[in-house]
Amino acid sequence: MSNVPAYIATSVDAPLEAGTVWRRDVGPNDVLIDIRWSGICHSDIHTVRGDWGPTVYPLVVGHEIAGTVAAVGSAVTKHAVGDRVGVGCLVNSCRECANCVAGAEQYCLNGKTGTYAEVDRDGTITQGGYATQVVVDADFVLRVPESIPFEKAAPLLCAGITTYSPLRRWNAGPGTRVAIVGLGGLGHMAVKLAHAMGAEVTVLSRTLSKRDDGLQLGADHYFATSDEATFTDLAGSFDLILNTISQNLALDQYLELLALDGTLVTLAASAEPITISEFALQGQRRSLSASTIGGIPETQEMLDFCAEHGIAPEVEIVAADQINEAWDRVLASDVRFRFVIDIETLPALVG
């Protein structure tokens, strides 16, 4: 076992600070990863700030991890020292329930183990990717294809799979009309992926301020939701709407934008209860659903799809000592479009 440099949350409201985090010995089925890049997800902030309930401190967050294999356990065959690999939001599950067997480990019936702030099968609390190294079970380590720029690979592990999975589940492709609500970290990936799948893509954003970006990312249309006419002009226009906004939306208004049998899928978690009118669903036999990340096989499929189609997120690189500032900017929606931490800048802060 060893302690490695990390950037750590010590309480619900204190700034993160440099320190160290404990990593277990490499077991027979484990992979030791030298982390090179670590994405900043809004969930990191929600977790530390207690928005989703109490958590444990000290805590290292980060579930968009890209790095290189430094060592493997004796039973590991899928990964070798030097390989480029990724770890997303999952580091363990029961592997025996129907959902795990089907490759939907995120819906493990016995409880998935998230990459940070959750109790692992060995009883320890998981600690995430704002650190120089991590030890992860080989079954939860993904291959990062060489053609994906390494610094852009990390956000695919959460923002990428979170949008890819529902686009596949609801058959986005040629002939389908997909609307993406919000053009942040998730939204911009949803636009790129839906466009690459062949769907007709519309961005619904509060204002038109990011319109040029949206069209460049692959959107066919772009509308402002602050303009009431948007909701009358686009009524019944979409087969699938992905909501990537954290705040509560007036869902009835968005449901009315769906065509017959259309589905509105919410991806961003808000702890607040939602209310909808049954009439908004009945009117065109619409559905409301929600989706969270993706399973391990589907995450690998997403990485391979991105490599094949030349898709990668737009990122801003930050040094480790800029993480607190980056968090403030995420909260202000001031990022194009995902922050990625250059982990090579971290050890110098620990001394």
Question: Interface with Zn ion by CB under 5 A: which residues?
Answer: 41, 43, 93-94, 97, 100, 108, 110, 158
- DSSP conformational letter for 131: B
Closer to Zn ion by Cβ: residue 255 or 302: 302
Closer to Zn ion by Cβ: residue 158 or 191: 158
As a whole number of angstroms, the distance between CA 70 and CA 66 comes to: 13
Residue 145: is it exposed, middle or buried by C-beta count within 10 angstroms (0-12/13-18/19+)? middle
Helix, strand, or coil (residue 185): helix
Shortest distance, position 43 Cβ to Zn ion, whole Å: 4
As a whole number of angstroms, the distance between CA 34 and CA 28 comes to: 18
Shortest distance, position 39 Cβ to Zn ion, whole Å: 8
Helix, strand, or coil (residue 20): strand
Shortest distance, position 152 Cβ to Zn ion, whole Å: 16
Closer to Zn ion by Cβ: residue 91 or 100: 100
The answer to whether 202 touches 181, Cβ cutoff 8 Å, is no
Shortest distance, position 41 Cβ to Zn ion, whole Å: 3
Closer to Zn ion by Cβ: residue 66 or 100: 100
Q: Which residue in 122, 157, 119, 152 sits closest to 140, CA to CA?
A: 157
30, 35, 41, 43: CA torsion to nearest 10 = 40
Closer to Zn ion by Cβ: residue 253 or 333: 333
Shortest distance, position 217 Cβ to Zn ion, whole Å: 19
As a whole number of angstroms, the distance between CA 280 and CA 267 comes to: 20
Q: Name the pairing type of β-strands 65-72 and 84-87.
A: antiparallel
- DSSP conformational letter for 43: H
Shortest distance, position 111 Cβ to Zn ion, whole Å: 8
The answer to whether 306 touches 299, Cβ cutoff 8 Å, is no
Please give the structure tokens belonging to residue 302: 């997403």
Shortest distance, position 97 Cβ to Zn ion, whole Å: 3
Q: Which residue in 184, 149, 165 sits closest to 89, CA to CA?
A: 165
Closer to Zn ion by Cβ: residue 56 or 269: 269
Closer to Zn ion by Cβ: residue 186 or 234: 186
